[in-house]
Every structure is written in structure tokens, then in C-alpha cells.
């Protein structure tokens, strides 16, 4: 039984973890345990006796509340803050009851209400037993006859054991420079990470990993508590160490400039937060998320991605049938399986000053539509894909001239343009319907197998004239609108593979991955930088989600082989100017594309082991292993190492210890244990790389 009801509360168990909570004698719902699974339900701690400390710290402030509201003398970061119609601005939870369900994904629902006012809260816990993860979200319901104003509604508060210091790992970056892994010790106070950009952002990602400061985890061992938020809008993470040694991470929709008017009878549902605990280090935490994303989140999580060619860096906005067919023919010869035409194909789009919003083929560049190009691409044996940026509008467009009010703006202010564009108010259903109609027509008229959905700026002047509720609901309703448009198109065209791009990795999260199978990780395609970006990305996302192109960045100092090896660590794509590559480079690329096709199932669907960090070392390595441990691939990269530079031993991971394996380039077989314990040294020169296949032979 994964969910146990005990005399004081509940114990939630997944494969190897336990999570316990209960009601203390003061009636507060408190957290009691998150860690290794214990033998018996009675083994889990029960809620401690409530205590206060002096007149300044009340019972609730010292308790580890599971979902604290702003109320009383509780001054920790709350999960919930609301104002009732009469101006009362707190919420006092009273426990009402619990429900459990069994089945493949057992669920616990805890029902609470306010002590005096019409307000109901449901806390949901869904267990992913085999994946060892707990999914949490909250529902707020207004059963009264007056409106309720929500000001903060987090998805979850994750508590870690008290009395310890923790290190917080998180992802940080900016455009062209995403996914740096930062680690910092949490000291008393609140460390906030957030996006105020109406999208996930390049700057921080809604992911955290906590380790004991005194015993940090490694890739292969040690305790880690980690989690994510499945949301593609503004979000907030508040990692707090309070004055009584309690560390907790609250995560949810950002409350900055946020208000939600909850009318009588309405319910507000938060996005989900997913959390996990492991004793096997950072690598195990990532692999858990990878498996969850592939099995539970992605629309086509079990399918292998095709090798794609994207013509953006070759032709930029100067696309037409002839130039694209020329590139498509070269791509097909190399073994490419999907040809994607990027920006520049639609009405009036000659550069980035015009056209966004007018989603039909440009009459000058494609006088007969896109059908001819798509057919030729299909004849060449490839799928056809297209770039769109549906949330955007250029002031110089038919759409803007017809509906200037559809762009997000504050009346009386000059709307700030970025890349000469404004954002359409996707919170409005008429805007959503317009985009659905235009993109549906495109997908119906042309045989399109792949769409790259881009978003090249963040919000400014977030006004919404005529909003049915509070205009500040735009922060959430915009994202819901994106989900509705994208979800509707997905339903109508279920075979299409979508990619989430936002100037590179600006929208990578578990919310968008319910719609998009892939993420364009960064506009930075310089391969050495990519190694680091890819390592950061892999903390959360599996290799099949990580689209990686070889472009014309780096050939002055890097071989095509090195550049291809970097991109082969994810879902391989090519983005260079194939005409300029010439027959020799194209033949070399064709060779590696063929190799990639042989190993891609291992890379895209297997387990990933980060053997040596490119963010930390100039000699780095990553290994992928099929789930049955029978076959693997090892990549090693050396950028610049100042002499003397001894070659590090790479200790393989995840092999069956007693089985025998060969490693390409080394004579004979060795036991899995030998490859993992004694490791292997692979000599490389500066700016060289290697791909070695691993094979179980006995
Ligand atoms: C963004 C994307 C690029 C490309 C351009 C097109 O920058 O990240 O890959 O699609 O837009 O304008």
C-alpha cells in the first residue's frame, strides 16, 4: 500500500522514498518526514507537540506546515495569501477530511476549509511509485456568494530535515548562455528565484536540488532532494531557512503583480510541482526526472526523433522554394530525415521588422504556397517542418493594423518593442481563436510533420483593457491561452512533433513539455559552450528533448567530428550552410549521421551518466546506456588543457557489475565492475573528442 493512513496522518511511499505528514494537536497540517522509505508505517515520525517561543514566534511559525497560509503569527513564506470581500486578509485552515485512491498512480487528497469564511482548499498528492516521485498541486474553491481575491497560491512547499544546512543547486543564465549550474549554501533568510517575464525565462529554471552542506552529493552518491514546477509562465521559488533551523522550498506561480479574482462557485487549480529524494546523487535525481518526462509528460515520449536540418543559419529570412529545395537535396543525401524551414516564409517577412501575425505564405516568395516545397521534401524521403512565432505581432503587419488592441499594452504608454515586435494578448479568447484558425489552416493545407514554436521576447506593459476579471490575471490567463491554442492544434494534428523555442532555451519546463516534444536549448551553437549548456540542461531534461544542431560556429578551431559529437549527445540536427560545406564535409557528416542512427535509441531513450563535468573541467565525458544495460555510448571531449595535463580516468557507470563489456578501441572484455571501478583513460589532444561504443559480450 503506497498510501498509509496512520492515527495522526498519512505516509506516502514510492519505490524507495517515504513522505509523511499529519495533524498536530493544535490542528495544523504539518510535514514530518521526506527521505528514505522506512520498513513500517509506524516507523515514520509523528507530528511533534506544538510549541511557541516567546511572544514573538507562535505555534504556526515553529510548525513545519504543509501548506501555510498568511495568518496569525506565522511569518515564514506562506503558500497562500488571499483577501475576502469584506477586507479580511488572512486564511485559517481547518482540516475537513482525506480521500485516497489506489491504482497505477495512487492519490491522496486532503480537504481543508477556512475557519470562518467560505474558502476551500484541496491538497493533492499523486504518487509515481516506480519513478520514485511525488506530484503535488492545490485547488482553491470559493463556495460563497462573494468574490475572493487570491494574491499568492503556490503549488507546494517542500520541507527537508530540520537542523541541517543545505546547499541549493539551481540553473542560471541568459540568452545565448543558459543553464549554468550554481550551488550556494542557504543561510537564514529567503533565496528567491523567479521569472517575471510571463514565460519560464533563460535566467532561471523552475528546478531545485538541495544537498546537505556538510555532506554534498556527487554524481553517483549522496542525498539529494529535488523538484520542479510544471509551469510556463512567471514563477517563483522561495528557498527559506527560518530562524529555527527549518529549511523549506516553496514553489508556484509568481505572486509578483499577481491577483486572481475567484468568483462564487469557481475553482483555481495550481500547476503541479514534482519532488523526489535519492541517496544516489545528482545523476540519479536527473535520471528520475528524465524517465518521468519521457514516460509521463511528453506527447511522443517513446518515439525516436528524426535527424533534422534547419535552414535558418544558412538562409535566414531569404527563403524561397528554390533555395530551400537546394538545401533539402543536400540534406537528404546526408541522411537527414526532417527538413525544417525557419523564419522568413510568411506574409511580408523580409526581415525582423514585419510580418509576425500574418501566418500565411508570403505571396512573393511562395506564389503557389508551401505545398510545392513540402512535396519535394517528402519526395526526397524527408518530413517537412516549419517555424512559427504565434504569440507575437509586428506593428508592421496586417494583423496589427486590423487589431492594434490585441497587443499587450498599457493605455497611454508607448508599448516597448523588442526585436520590433509586441506580444499578442493570448489571455483573450478572440486572439486564441484567430491563431488557432490560422495555424490549423496551415497544418491542414500542407503536409507539416514538425513545428518549431518560438517566442523571441518577454512581456512589458502587461495591461489588459476590458479584462473580464482583474487585469493582473493576465500573468496566468496568458499561459493558459498558450496551452489552449497549442493543445487544440495538437488535438487536431496529433502526429505533429512540436519544438519549444524561446530565443533558445527560454521556455523549457514540464508544462510546455506536455505540448512540445523537444526544446531548442540555446541560440548559442558554439560547441564548447554547448557542452556546458547541455550539462546544465541535462539536470532536468532527457537527451531526446534536447535538440542540438551542428552549425557553422567553431570550424576555425574545431573539427566537424567534434562539433557532431557534441550534437550527437542529444537529438541531432544540422544547421550549417550545406552549400558551403562542400562534398567532403557533407560526406563526413553523412558518416556520423549514420552512426547516430545506430546509437540514437541509447542516447534518446537510455540512461544518461555525466562522467565528468564540462562546466568544471576542460576534459569532460558523458555516457548513455540502454535500459537493459546491454549497449552504451561514451563521449569524451577535450577543449583546451594547459600542460601538464594528465588524462583523467573515466569511470563508467550503470553497467551490470558481473557482466563482461567491451569498449570500442580497447582490446578484450572487462567486467562491468572493472570499467566502473578502475575506469579507462582515453588520450585526447586539445579540441578533440571521441565516441566509443560499449557492448555487453557475456
Ligand atoms: C530565434 C530562434 C532561432 C531562429 C530565429 C528566427 O532567435 O532561437 O533559432 O528561429 O529566432 O527569427
What pLDDT digit, counting tens, does each position of 503-543 carry? Answer: 999 999 999 999 999 999 999 999 999 999 999 999 999 99
Reply yes or no on whether the pLDDT at 173 is more than 80. Answer: yes
pLDDT at 1 > cutoff 80: no
Q: Is 66 in the pocket of ligand 1 (CB under 6 A)?
A: no
The percent of residues above 70 in pLDDT, for the chain, comes to 100
Q: Quote the CA–CA distance of 372 and 365 in Å, as a whole number.
A: 12
Q: Which of 175, 345, 387 should be mutated for ligand 1, with most atoms under 8 A from CB? A: 387
C-alpha 296/C-alpha 128 separation (Å) is 10
Q: Where, residue-wise, is CATH 2.70.98.60 in the chain?
A: 3-297
What's residue 512's pLDDT?
98
Q: Is the pLDDT assigned to residue 234 strictly greater than 80?
A: yes
Which residue's alpha carbon is at the smallest distance from atom 1 of ligand 1?
A: 503
Do 193 and 103 touch, CB atoms closer than 8 A?
no
CA 593 to ligand 1 centroid distance, Å: 24
- Assess whether pLDDT exceeds 80 at residue 253: yes
- Residue to probe by mutation, ligand 1, list 503, 521, 524, 553, most atoms within 8 Å of CB: 503
> Is the predicted pLDDT of residue 95 greater than 90, yes or no?
yes
Distance, CA 454 to ligand 1 centroid (Å)? 7
Q: Specify the pLDDT at position 305.
A: 98
Residue 643: the pLDDT is 83
pLDDT tens profile 301-358 = 999 999 999 999 999 999 999 999 999 999 999 999 999 999 999 999 999 999 999 9
Q: 350-520: which CATH number, 3.30.300.30, 3.40.50.1000, 3.20.20.70, 3.40.190.10? A: 3.20.20.70
Q: What pLDDT is stored for residue 690 in this prediction?
A: 98
Q: What's the pLDDT score for residue 642?
A: 86
Residue listed under C-alpha cell 520541507 = 159
Whose Cα sits closest to atom 6 in ligand 1? 343
Instruction: Tell me the CA–centroid distance for residue 349 and ligand 1, in Å.
Output: 14
Q: What is the mean pLDDT of residues 481-498?
A: 98
**In the predicted model, is pLDDT for residue 420 greater than 80?**
yes
| CA 651 / ligand 1 centre spacing (Å) | 38
How far does CA 691 lie from the centroid of its chain? 27
Positions of CATH 2.60.40.1180 in the chain: 611-696
Q: Is the pLDDT of residue 553 over 90?
A: yes
Q: Is the CB of 454 under 6 A from ligand 1?
A: yes
Looking at the structure, give the CATH architecture of the domain made up of residues 611-696: Sandwich (2.60)
452 C-alpha to ligand 1 centroid (Å): 9
Predicted confidence (pLDDT) per residue in 627-637, tens digit: 999 999 999 99
> Of 342, 573, 576, which is best to mutate to test ligand 1, by the most ligand atoms within 8 angstroms of its C-beta?
342
Q: CA quadruple 594, 599, 603, 604: dihedral positive or negative?
A: positive
Q: Decide whether any atom of ligand 1 lies within 6 Å of the 342 Cβ.
A: yes
- The CA distance from 324 to 314, in Å, is 10
Task: Give the model's pLDDT for residue 601.
Answer: 98
Counting atoms of ligand 1 from 1, which one is nearest the CA of 503?
A: 8
Residue 377 has pLDDT above 80, yes or no: yes
What does the pLDDT read at residue 650? 98
**Is the minimum distance from the CB of 504 to ligand 1 under 6 angstroms?**
yes
* Ligand 1 site-directed mutation target among 310, 346, 523, 552, most atoms within 8 Å of CB: 523
Average pLDDT over residues 605-620: 98
| Closest ligand 1 atom to 501 CA | 8
Q: Is any ligand 1 atom within 6 A of the Cβ of residue 575? A: no
What is the reported pLDDT for 278?
98
Indicate if ligand 1 lies below 6 Å from the C-beta of 473: no
**Strand, coil or helix: 375:** helix
Please tell me if the CB atom of residue 160 comes closer than 6 angstroms to any atom of ligand 1: no
Report how far ligand 1's centroid is from the alpha carbon of 364 (Å): 22
Determine if ligand 1 sits within 6 Å of the CB of residue 503: yes
d(CA 344, CA 590): 28
Q: How far apart are CA 213 and CA 137, in angstroms?
A: 29
The answer, yes or no, to whether any atom of ligand 1 lies below 6 A from the CB of 453, is no
> What is the grid cell recorded at 427?
489571455
Q: Whose CA is nearest to atom 2 of ligand 1?
A: 503
Ligand 1 pocket check for 547: Cβ under 6 Å = no
For ligand 1, is residue 345 a contact (CB within 6 Å)?
no
Question: What is the average pLDDT score of the chain?
Answer: 97
pLDDT tens digits, residue range 425-459? 999 999 999 999 999 999 999 999 999 999 999 99
Best residue for ligand 1 mutational test, from 343, 351, 452 (most atoms within 8 Å of Cβ): 343
Give the Cα separation of 603 and 572 in Å (integer). 10
Supply the residues annotated as catalytic: 454, 523
Give nearest CA residue, ligand 1 atom 11.
Answer: 503
Reported as a pLDDT band with limits 50, 70 and 90, residue 108 is very high
- Residue 502 CA, ligand 1 centroid: distance in Å: 8
On whether the CB atoms of residues 624 and 552 are closer than 8 A, the answer is no
Q: How confident is the model at residue 644 (pLDDT cuts 50, 70, 90)?
A: confident
Q: Which atom of ligand 1 is nearest to the CA of 523?
A: 8
684 has pLDDT over 80: yes
pLDDT at residue 294 is higher than 90 = yes
Choose the residue to mutate in 316, 451, 454 for probing ligand 1, maximizing ligand atoms within 8 Å of C-beta: 454
Distance, CA 432 to ligand 1 centroid (Å)? Answer: 22
502 CB near ligand 1 (under 6 Å) = no
Cβ–Cβ under 8 Å, residues 73 and 58: yes
Residue 169's pLDDT is: 98
DSSP 319-351: --HHHHHHHHHHHHHHT--EEEE-TT-BTT-SS
Ligand 1 pocket member 343 (CB < 6 A)? yes
How many angstroms separate the CA atoms of 121 and 141, rounded? 6
CA of 344 to the centre of ligand 1 (A): 10
175: pLDDT strictly greater than 80? yes
CA of 523 to the centre of ligand 1 (A): 7
Distance CA 283, CA 391 (A): 36
Beta pairing partners, 393: 422
0.85 exceeded by the pTM?
yes
Cβ pair 449, 378 in contact under 8 A? no
Cβ–ligand 1 contact at 315 (below 6 Å)? no
Closest C-alpha residue for ligand 1 atom 7: 503
What span, in angstroms and rounded, lies between the C-alpha atoms of 303 and 575?
Answer: 22
* Bond into 103 cis (ω within 30): no
pLDDT the model gives residue 10: 98
CA of 398 to the centre of ligand 1 (A): 22
Over 80: is that where the pLDDT of 614 sits?
A: yes
Q: Is the CB of 387 under 6 A from ligand 1?
A: yes
What stretch(es) of the chain map to CATH 3.20.20.70?
350-520
The yes-or-no verdict on residue 67 having pLDDT over 80 is: yes
On whether the 3-297 domain is CATH 2.70.98.60, my answer is yes
Q: Render pLDDT for 147-159 as a digit per residue (tens, 0 to 9).
A: 999 999 999 999 9
Q: What is the DSSP string of 219-273?
A: SSSB-EEEEEE--SSSEEEEEEE-TTS-EEEEEEE--TT--EEE-TT-EEEPPPE
Mean pLDDT within 193-217: 98
Confidence check: pLDDT of 224 > 80: yes
Is 320 buried (19+), middle (13-18) or exposed (0-12) by CB count in 10 A?
A: middle
Residue 128 in contact with residue 119, Cβ under 8 Å? no
Other CB atoms within 10 Å distance of the CB of residue 444: 11
Tell me, using a 6 A CB cutoff, whether residue 312 lines ligand 1: yes
CA of 363 to the centre of ligand 1 (A): 22
Amino acid at each position: 500500500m503506497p498510501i498509509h493512513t496512520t492515527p495522526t496522518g498519512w505516509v506516502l511511499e514510492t519505490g524507495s522514498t517515504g513522505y509523511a505528514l499529519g495533524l498536530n494537536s493544535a490542528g495544523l497540517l504539518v510535514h514530518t518526514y521526506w527521505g528514505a522509505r522506512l520498513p513500517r508505517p509506524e516507523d515514520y515520525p509523528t507530528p511533534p507537540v506544538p510549541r511557541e517561543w516567546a511572544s514573538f514566534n507562535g505555534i504556526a511559525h515553529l510548525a513545519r506546515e504543509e501548506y501555510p497560509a498568511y495568518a496569525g503569527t506565522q511569518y515564514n513564506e506562506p503558500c497562500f495569501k488571499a483577501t475576502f470581500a469584506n477586507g479580511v486578509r488572512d486564511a485559517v485552515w481547518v482540516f475537513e477530511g482525506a480521500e485516497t485512491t489506489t491504482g497505477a498512480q495512487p492519490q491522496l487528497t486532503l480537504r481543508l476549509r477556512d475557519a470562518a469564511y467560505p474558502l476551500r482548499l484541496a491538497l493533492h498528492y499523486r504518487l509515481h511509485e516506480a519513478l520514485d516521485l511525488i506530484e503535488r498541486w492545490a485547488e482553491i474553491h470559493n463556495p460563497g456568494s462573494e468574490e475572493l481575491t487570491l494574491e499568492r497560491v503556490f503549488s507546494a512547499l517542500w520541507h527537508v530535515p530540520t537542523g541541517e544546512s543545505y546547499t541549493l543547486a539551481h540553473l542560471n543564465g541568459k540568452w545565448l548562455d543558459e543553464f549554468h549550474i550554481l550551488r550556494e549554501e542557504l543561510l537564514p533568510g529567503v533565496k528567491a528565484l523567479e521569472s517575471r517575464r510571463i514565460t519560464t525565462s533563460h535566467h532561471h529554471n523552475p528546478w531545485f536540488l538541495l544537498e546537505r552542506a556538510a555532506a554534498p552529493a556527487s554524481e553517483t552518491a549522496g542525498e539529494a532532494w529535488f523538484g520542479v514546477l510544471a509551469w510556463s509562465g512567471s514563477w517563483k521559488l522561495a528557498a527559506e531557512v527560518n530562524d529555527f533551523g527549518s529549511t523549506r522550498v516553496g514553489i508556484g506561480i509568481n505572486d509578483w503583480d499577481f491577483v486572481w479574482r475567484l468568483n462564487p462557485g469557481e475553482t483555481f487549480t495550481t500547476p503541479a510541482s514534482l519532488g523526489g529524494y535519492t541517496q544516489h546523487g545528482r545523476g540519479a535525481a536527473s535520471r528520475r526526472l528524465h524517465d518521468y518526462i519521457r514516460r509521463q509528460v511528453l506527447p511522443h515520449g517513446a518515439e525516436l526523433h528524426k535527424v533534422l536540418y534547419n535552414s535558418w543559419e544558412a538562409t535566414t529570412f531569404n527563403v524561397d522554394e528554390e533555395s530551400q529545395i537546394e538545401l533539402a537535396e543536400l540534406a537528404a543525401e546526408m541522411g537527414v530525415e526532417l527538413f525544417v524551414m525557419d523564419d522568413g516564409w510568411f506574409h511580408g517577412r523580409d526581415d525582423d521588422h514585419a510580418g509576425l501575425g500574418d501566418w500565411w505564405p508570403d505571396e512573393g516568395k511562395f506564389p503557389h504556397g508551401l505545398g510545392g516545397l513540402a512535396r519535394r521534401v517528402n519526395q526526397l524521403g524527408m518530413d517537412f517542418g516549419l517555424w512559427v512565432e504565434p504569440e507575437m505581432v509586428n506593428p508592421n503587419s496586417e494583423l496589427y493594423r486590423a487589431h492594434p488592441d490585441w497587443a499587450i499594452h498599457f493605455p497611454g504608454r508607448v508599448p516597448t518593442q523588442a526585436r520590433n515586435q509586441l506580444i499578442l494578448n493570448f489571455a483573450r479568447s478572440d486572439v486564441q481563436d484567430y491563431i488557432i484558425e490560422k495555424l490549423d489552416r496551415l497544418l491542414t493545407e500542407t503536409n507539416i510533420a514538425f513545428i518549431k514554436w518560438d517566442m523571441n521576447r518577454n512581456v512589458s506593459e502587461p495591461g489588459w483593457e476590458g479584462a473580464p476579471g482583474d487585469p493582473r490575471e493576465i500573468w496566468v490567463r496568458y499561459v493558459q491561452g498558450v496551452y489552449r491554442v497549442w493543445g487544440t492544434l495538437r488535438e487536431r494534428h496529433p502526429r505533429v512533433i512540436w519544438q519549444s523555442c524561446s530565443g533558445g532555451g527560454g521556455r523549457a519546463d514540464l508544462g510546455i513539455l506536455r505540448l512540445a516534444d523537444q526544446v531548442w536549448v540555446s541560440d548559442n551553437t558554439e560547441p564548447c559552450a554547448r557542452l556546458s549548456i547541455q550539462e546544465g540542461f541535462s539536470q532536468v531534461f532527457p537527451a531526446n528533448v534536447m535538440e542540438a544542431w551542428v552549425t557553422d560556429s567553431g570550424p576555425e578551431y574545431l573539427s566537424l567530428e567534434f562539433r557532431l559529437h557534441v550534437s550527437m549527445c542529444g537529438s541531432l540536427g544540422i544547421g550549417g550552410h550545406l552549400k558551403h560545406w562542400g562534398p567532403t564535409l557533407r560526406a563526413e557528416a553523412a558518416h556520423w549521421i549514420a552512426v547516430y542512427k545506430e546509437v540514437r535509441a541509447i542516447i534518446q531513450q537510455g540512461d544518461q551518466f555525466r562522467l565528468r563535468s564540462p562546466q568544471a573541467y576542460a576534459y569532460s565525458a558523458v555516457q548513455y546506456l540502454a535500459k537493459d544495460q546491454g549497449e552504451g555510448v561514451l563521449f569524451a571531449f577535450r577543449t583546451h588543457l594547459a600542460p601538464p595535463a594528465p588524462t583523467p580516468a573515466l569511470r563508467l557507470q550503470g553497467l551490470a557489475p558481473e557482466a563482461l563489456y567491451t569498449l570500442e578501441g580497447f582490446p578484450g572484455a572487462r567486467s562491468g565492475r572493472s570499467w566502473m571501478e578502475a575506469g579507462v583513460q582515453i588520450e585526447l589532444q586539445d579540441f578533440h573528442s571521441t565516441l566509443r561504443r560499449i557492448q555487453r559480450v557475456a
